Chains A and B, each alone.
Chain A
Amino acid sequence: MATVWRSQRAFARFFVGKTARILNNASDLGAKLTTASISVSSKQNYSNYAHSPFVKNIKEQYEFEIVKNPPEWAYVERLMPFETIPNVTPKAAYPSGWIPPKEEARNLPYFIARTRNHQLPIYLDLSYRGMRKISMIKKIDGDIWLLNDLIKEHLKKTQNRYVETRVHELGRFIEVKGDFVTTLCNWAYAQGF
Chain B
Amino acid sequence: MSSNLLNVFKRLNITAATQIRLCSSVSNVVPDNREISVTKKEWKFPPQYTKPREVWIENLDTIEEKKLGLFELHPLVYATVPRIDLIHRNVEWQKKYRWVSWAHTKTRAEVRGGGRKPWPQKGLGRARHGSIRSPLWRGGGIVHGPRSGKTHFFMLPFDMRIHGLTSTLSAKFAQDDLHVVKDLELPTEEPAYIIDLIESRNWGPSVLLVDDTDYAPRNITVATDNLPHVNIMPVYGLNVYSMLKHDTLILTHSAAQKIEERLLIHLHSSITEQQMKFKLSQV
Contact partner of B269 among A83, A106, A111, A172, CB < 8 A? Answer: A83
CA distance A85 to B267 in the complex (A): 10
Range for the number of chain A residues in contact with chain B:
10 to 19
Residue of B nearest to A111 (CB): B49
Is B5 on the interface with A (CB-CB < 8 A)?
yes
Q: Is the CB of A141 within 8 A of B268?
A: no
Whole-angstrom distance between the alpha carbons of A136 and B220 in the complex? Answer: 50
Would you call B265 an interface residue if the criterion is a C-beta within 8 Å of the partner chain's C-beta atoms?
A: yes
B83–A171 CB distance below 8 A: yes
Given contacts A113-B48, A113-B49, A141-B50, contact A170 B268 (CB under 8 A): no
Interface residues of A in 88-142 (CB under 8 A from B): 106, 111, 113, 116, 141-142
The answer to whether A111 touches B48, judged by C-beta atoms less than 8 angstroms apart, is yes
What are 26 A-B pairs with beta-carbon distances under 8 A? A82-B269, A82-B270, A83-B269, A84-B45, A84-B268, A84-B269, A85-B268, A85-B269, A85-B270, A106-B48, A111-B48, A111-B49, A113-B48, A113-B49, A116-B268, A116-B269, A116-B270, A141-B48, A141-B49, A141-B50, A142-B49, A170-B81, A170-B83, A170-B84, A171-B81, A171-B83
Name the contact of A106 in the complex, choosing from B44, B49, B265, B267 (C-beta under 8 A): B49
Least Cβ–Cβ distance between A104 and chain B, in angstroms: 12
B residues lining the A interface (CB < 8 Å): 5, 44-45, 48-50, 81, 83-84, 265, 267-270
B258 CB to nearest chain A CB (Å): 15
Nearest CB in chain A to that of B273: its residue: A81
Asked whether A83 and B265 contact (CB < 8 A) given A170-B5, A170-B81, A171-B83, the answer is yes
Taking each of B5, B48, B265, which has the highest tally of chain A beta carbons within 10 Å of its own beta carbon?
B48
CA–CA, A45 to B49, complex, Å? Answer: 78
Q: A170-B5, A170-B81, A171-B83 are in contact. Are A116 and B267 (CB under 8 A)?
A: yes
Query: Roughly how many angstroms separate A83 CA and B265 CA in the complex, as a whole number?
Result: 8
Which chain A residue has the least Cβ–Cβ distance from B264? A84
The distance in angstroms between the C-alpha atoms of A170 and B269, with both chains bound, is 24
User: A142 CA to B51 CA in the complex, in Å?
Assistant: 11
- Give chain A residues whose Cβ lies under 8 Å from the Cβ of B50: 141
- Residues of chain A lying within 8 A (CB to CB) of residue B83: 170-171
Kindly state the separation between the CA atoms of A15 and B268 in the bound complex, as whole angstroms. Answer: 62
In the assembled complex, the Cα of A81 lies from the Cα of B268 at a distance in Å of 14
Q: For chains A and B in complex, what number of residue pairs have CB atoms within 8 angstroms?
A: 33
CA distance A172 to B49 in the complex (A): 14
A172 to B267, CA, bound (A): 17
Chain A residues with Cβ below 8 Å from B84 are 170
Bound CA span A171–B267, Å: 17
In the complex, what distance in Å separates the CA atom of A116 from the CA atom of B271?
11
User: For residue A171, which residues in chain B have a CB less than 8 angstroms away from its CB?
Assistant: 81, 83
Q: How far is the CA of A192 from the CA of B5 in the complex (A)?
A: 32
* CB pair A172 B268 closer than 8 Å: no
Residues of B near A111 (CB, < 8 A) are 48-49
- For A83, the chain B residues whose CB sits under 8 A away are 265, 269
Residue of A106, A111, A141, A142 contacting most chain B CB atoms (<10 Å): A141
A150-193 residues at the B interface, CB under 8 angstroms:
170-172
How distant is the Cα of A84 from the Cα of B43 in the complex, in angstroms? 13
Cβ contacts under 8 Å, B270 to chain A: 82, 85, 116
B243 to chain A, nearest CB (A): 20
Q: Name the B residues within 8 Å of A84 (CB-CB).
A: 44-45, 265, 268-269
Contact residues in A for B5 (Cβ distance below 8 Å)? 170
Query: Which of A106, A113, A170, A172 has the most chain B CB within a 10 Å cutoff?
Result: A170
A-chain residues with CB within 8 Å of residue B45 when the two chains form the complex: 84
In chain A, what residue has the closest Cβ to B5?
Answer: A170
- 7 further A-B pairs in the complex, CB-CB below 8 A; given A84-B45, A116-B269: A84-B268, A111-B48, A111-B49, A113-B49, A142-B49, A170-B83, A172-B81
